[in-house]
Structures are given as C-alpha cells and as structure tokens.
Amino acid sequence: MANNAEEIKKFLRARRDAVRPSQVGLANYPGRRVPGLRREEVAQLAGVSVDYYTRLEQGRLTSASEGVILSIAEALKLTQAETQYLRDLLRPQPRRSVEPALPQQVRPALLRMLTGLHDQPAFVLGRRNEVLASNDLLDALFTPFNHRPPGERNLLRWMLLDPAARSLYLDWAQVTSEVVGVLRAEAGRNPNDPRIAEFVAELRSVSPEFRTWWAERTVVERTWGSKRFNHPVVGRLDITYEALSLPGDPDQILFVYAGKTDDDLEKLRILASWYAQSTPRPASAGKDTSQPDGVGEQDSRHA
C-alpha cells in the first residue's frame, strides 16, 4: 500500500469524485465540468476551510481530529467501513506486529465445531483472506482447500484466478470486488505490513479486474448477507451467511453458511453426500490448515 499521505490523497479524491451534487443538495447545473464535488463544496459541507481541506486532500496533512473526520465522512457520504478506513489513515492506532512470532492457529474447540457442522459450510479466514480451516461441506461448495498447497489457500486469489470460481458465483464480479474492498480495509488497518503490499502487487500483475477494483478504493467490512451459486453438482443454490469476529482471536473471522430455503438446505445435504462418496479424505482433513502469516505466496507464501 502507498504511504499514508499518498493514500489519503487518492482516497479522498476518489470518494469526492463519486458523490453527485444532487446527493448533497447541490444543483447540478449545465456546463459543470466535474462529475463529483469540488473541493470547496466538500469543505463547505464539512464545515472546514477550503485551505484546510485542500491541504488534507493533497496529503500535506496526515492527521485530523475525530470531529473533522466525521464531518468529512458525512460530506462525502462515506459508509461506516469507509469512515473507519479514513480514520485509520488520519489517526493511525498502534499497529500489531507485522511479523507475528507464531503462525495463526485455529483453536481445537473451534475446529471441532467446524467439523461438526454437517449441513452448513463453514470456514475461518485469517489476516489476509487465507483459509485457516474449513469443513468438508465448504470444500465441496468452493474447492478442496485442504488438498491445496499451503501457499494456495487464499480465498481472494482463488476467486480472481480460478475459472471454476467465476462459474460458481452467479454474481462473481460483485462478490469478488467486495472481497477486494475487504483487503482495502485490512490495508488501512495495517499500512506498514509488507506482505499486504506484496500481495496487492502480485494481484495487480495478474488480474485486470483487481487493478480496476483496487484503484476505485472501495472499502468493505465483512458482516452478513446472501450469495447465489450455480454449482456443477446441485445447480442453483442460494445461501445466507454470517461473518463472526472471534473475540479471543481478533485476526480471525468465522464464516457460517446456511441454505436460504428448505430446498437449498436439501441441496447442501446432497452436496455433502456427494463429496463424502467421491472425494478421498485428505490427510489434513479435520485439522488446522493454518500457515505462517504470509499473504498467500506461491511456493511458500496469500486475502
């Protein structure tokens, strides 16, 4: 990720360009040369001087009070996730070590919980979207992460680069761009993490879609929602999901999927039966697949 000053500049400019005057009660008169807001308009809406906002957007200021951050967020119609991203950029908090002494590990009790969910795909994501653990039904729905080499258990890389992922998601572009936004939020929390920078550089070099979405600077936090799949075994499948932060493991997110209807639930059961009969259980199945805190590098190392 770029240094804070450069990222502040690019993020504020991108968000300002995205807001239409009509969204904030301003007239969009004929001949207006900018599609979004002008700097002076943002300054007026936020209650700060034009000079102050200009210096902020130009990266000449790298900190701001909470009140100013919230005022600018309101003026730019930022989401909660985008507001937190701006807060991370302008009021950096003490950072976690970028070189943890130990690899991320999924607690044994949580692993038992995962394997005990027979009708619900479930998995645990680590700091940069690496799949730390998954149950059989998740592997049946997505891809057998437990069979993959350690450096290829990254959810975002799989979504971007595996043709099977593009076929699986009925809304592939929307879902994948949201995961890119999740990586953007993580980059804001950890601007000095070299592994995120390496991972971003890698994806920019191999994925044109990633380059486009990363440049848009959309920020997304994982919460809950629904997804639509076209699975090669069971066909159309709709699920709901919950993304649960683990209080004792702040860098880990537990995802639990559920069939949206009784028909979807029955399809998940069929998928589980098919997977059990057709796929040899890997040696690592039911075990923690956590790896050293890399960003899913090929060979030894990342979402």
- Report the SS3 class of residue 187: helix
Is 88:188 a contact under the CB 8 Å cutoff? Answer: yes
Ranges in the chain annotated CATH 3.30.450.180: 108-278
> What is the structure's pLDDT at 92?
59
Beta-carbon count within 10 A of 70 CB? 16
Question: Which strands make up the sheet holding 224-231, listed edge to edge?
Answer: 131-134, 122-125, 249-259, 235-246, 224-231
> What is the structure's pLDDT at 35?
76
> What is the structure's pLDDT at 94?
54
Is 156:129 a contact under the CB 8 Å cutoff? Answer: yes
Runs of H (alpha helix) within the chain: 4-18, 39-46, 50-57, 66-75, 80-90, 108-115, 136-141, 155-161, 163-168, 172-189, 194-206, 208-216, 262-278
Question: Which segments of the chain have a pLDDT < 50?
Answer: 1-2, 97-98, 100-101, 283-303
> What is the structure's pLDDT at 54?
94
Ranges in the chain annotated CATH 1.10.260.40: 4-90
CATH class of the domain at 108-278: alpha beta
Backbone angles phi, psi at 83, to 5 degrees: -65, -40
> What is the structure's pLDDT at 61?
86
pLDDT in tens, 67-107: 999 999 999 999 999 999 999 998 755 555 445 445 678 88
Q: Structurally, what CATH architecture does the domain formed by 4-90 represent?
A: Orthogonal Bundle (1.10)
pLDDT in tens, 105-151: 888 899 999 989 989 999 999 878 899 999 999 999 999 988 887 77
> What is the structure's pLDDT at 157?
95
Beta-carbon count within 10 A of 226 CB? 12
Q: Which of 171, 287, 150 is nearest to 229 (CA)?
A: 171
Q: What share of the chain is helix, strand, coil (3-state, %, to 5)?
A: 50, 15, 40
Residues paired with residue 229 on neighbouring β-strands, in sequence order: 169, 237
Mean pLDDT of the chain, nearest integer? 85
- Distance, in Å, from the CA atom of 39 to the CA atom of 179, rounded to the nearest integer, reads 30
